[in-house]
Amino acid sequence: MKVAIAYLLLIFGLGTNYIFNISVARFLGPTSFGNFSYALYLFNIFSLIAVFSLDQAALRFIPQTTSTRGIKSSIQLLSLVFGVIFSIIFALTIFLFVEGERAKLAYLFVLSIVPFVMLTVNVSILQAEHIVGPRMAFRYVIEPVVKLALFLLLFHYFQSSTSPVIALFLALIITNIAALILYKNRFGSFDVRSLKEKFSNLFKFILPMSASNTVGVVSGRMDVLILGTLVAASDLGYYSAAFQTAGIITIVLQGIETVYASIFSGHIGAASFKALKEDYQRALRLAMLISSPIIMVFVIYPELVMLPFGMEYQGAASILAILCIGQFFNIALGSANAILILLGKTKIVLLISIVYVCITAIFVSIGAYFSGALGAAIGVVGAIVVPNIIRIYFVYKITKSHPFSLHYFKILVALLLSSSIGLLGKSYFFYAGIVLFPTLFLIIVGCFGMHSEEKKIIKEIFTKLKIK
């Protein structure tokens, strides 16, 4: 039931955010959208670093602690402190290194760092206490709906490239206020004494984790930063549109981890690695089943998927198809990084992140130099695979748990077969394949033998639909 609620809210939020991205891209045009995207990615880097792994600390400590008020207070107080510190660092970075339209937009993004950090930490506290529906509602309903509405209103009256930035800031403020009002009793208070008591354990966890996250955040957006120095703003706009569209697939894994992170943490706290393995494999099967039809459509019909952005963005279709292959590897290789974090193996996570940033820098730079945005996308795919395999190895070494099973490989074979048929038969079936090829995937999975748990879920869904 929790998975169903999470995905309903996730799909709604995904659709709303996608409409927001399309609206910004269409109204601003490729060049201005490229500048906006560059400033946005800078904001993403500094805001995610500013969280300082406090969201992961909430998932790590709250499910494994009997008295949670002190740890909540400490986490919230630190989130406010780090938000202010990194807002100042971000502003100084813009002053020293960013110019023109990008600097103007980036300065406005500075205002959003503190509310972003606070919202991220607060919803992680709710997630740690198994409050899944409301947590998803704040992140994927209230914030995106308010952001979209405010952007359309602001752009209608002012026709300014700053409209989406201001809309984001106001949406974060409103969502934070709503969360605090509705779940005030679930959050701690800004108690300095609690911070002193929990300081040692918290910092032992968040310092190496934040270093790892910093490396991961930078490497995850390094493609855009490199492209920003090598290609025109319009090309960066094409890449950003494709990148954001491919990001729809990653949210599938995020939704699964939203539900299973606290479950994984509970198994780890109880040293029940057999149960961890079962849920690890269960989570990956669900992620594969949900994401595979989306991946197929995006790879086979990228030009159709990019159509909502307008004809100006059709040049991004091939970039989208390549980036979706990269996201497939992220899905197919499971939640190993999240499990390593919950195990407290921060040094391993950091080392793997360093490997990732080095590979990303090399692959993306080479690809962008020779083939621009398309080459950068190919480099991203190459950079995704190696670190994910290393993470799986370490999870197995520590817990003897791995995400692979017979039913996993059945899903994988079904995806490869149906995708191959789709690419070869696209010219014969035209756009009817949007329905036919995903249906073929489900038929092949069914023929190979779907796991009894997935059969039960599907049966329950159809039963409820019949009743309605």
Whether the per-residue pLDDT at 3 is higher than 80: the answer is: no
pLDDT, greater one: 256 or 193? 256
pLDDT average, residue stretch 111-124: 94
pLDDT average, residue stretch 296-318: 93
Distance from C-alpha of 191 to C-alpha of 157, rounded to nearest angstrom: 43
Whether the per-residue pLDDT at 194 is higher than 60: the answer is: no
pLDDT of residue 353: 82
Q: How confident is the model at residue 15 (pLDDT cuts 50, 70, 90)?
A: confident
Rg of the chain over CA atoms, in angstroms?
22
pLDDT of residue 59: 83
Tokens of 341: 């974090």
pLDDT of residue 46: 96
pLDDT average, residue stretch 390-397: 94
Q: Could you tell me how far CA 185 lies from the centroid of its own chain?
A: 28
pLDDT of residue 304: 93
Distance from C-alpha of 212 to C-alpha of 217, rounded to nearest angstrom: 9
Distance from C-alpha of 237 to C-alpha of 373, rounded to nearest angstrom: 10
Q: How confident is the model at residue 11 (pLDDT cuts 50, 70, 90)?
A: confident
Distance from C-alpha of 54 to C-alpha of 117, rounded to nearest angstrom: 9
User: Where is mean pLDDT largest: 197-201, 458-462, 464-468?
Assistant: 197-201
- The predicted-structure confidence for 71-109, as pLDDT tens digits, reads as follows 788 888 889 999 999 999 999 999 999 999 999 999 999
Quote the longest CA-to-CA distance of the chain: 69
Whether the per-residue pLDDT at 25 is higher than 60: the answer is: yes
Lowest mean pLDDT among 126-135, 308-317, 331-340, 446-455: 446-455
The fraction of the chain above a pLDDT of 70, given in percent, is 91
- The predicted-structure confidence for 50-79, as pLDDT tens digits, reads as follows 999 899 888 888 877 666 677 788 888 889
Cβ burial, residue 209 (10 Å; 0-12/13-18/19+) = buried
Tokens of 423: 């690419």
Q: What angle do CA 19, 23, 29 make, to 5 degrees?
A: 145
Whether the per-residue pLDDT at 335 is higher than 70: the answer is: yes
DSSP 403: S
pLDDT of residue 98: 92
- The predicted-structure confidence for 413-429, as pLDDT tens digits, reads as follows 999 999 999 999 998 88
Whether the per-residue pLDDT at 160 is higher than 70: the answer is: yes
**Cβ-based neighbours of 213, under 8 Å, separated by 6 or more:** 48, 49, 51, 52, 53, 56, 353
Whether the per-residue pLDDT at 468 is higher than 70: the answer is: no
32 within 8 A of 20, measured Cβ to Cβ: no
pLDDT of residue 71: 79
- The predicted-structure confidence for 231-267, as pLDDT tens digits, reads as follows 888 889 999 999 989 988 887 777 777 778 878 888 9
Q: How confident is the model at residue 9 (pLDDT cuts 50, 70, 90)?
A: confident
Which of 131, 115, 423 lies closest to 258, judged by CA? 131
First to last CA, the chain: 17
Distance from C-alpha of 44 to C-alpha of 239, rounded to nearest angstrom: 17
Q: How many helices (H) and strands (E) does the chain have?
A: 19, 0
H-helix segments, 51-98: 54-61, 69-97
pLDDT of residue 320: 94
What's the mean per-residue pLDDT of the chain? Answer: 86
Which pTM value belongs to this model? 0.78
Q: How confident is the model at residue 465 (pLDDT cuts 50, 70, 90)?
A: very low
The fraction of the chain above a pLDDT of 90, given in percent, is 43
Amino acid symbol at 142: I
pLDDT of residue 176: 94
**Cβ-based neighbours of 311, under 8 Å, separated by 6 or more:** none
Distance from C-alpha of 181 to C-alpha of 183, rounded to nearest angstrom: 6
pLDDT, greater one: 193 or 446? 446
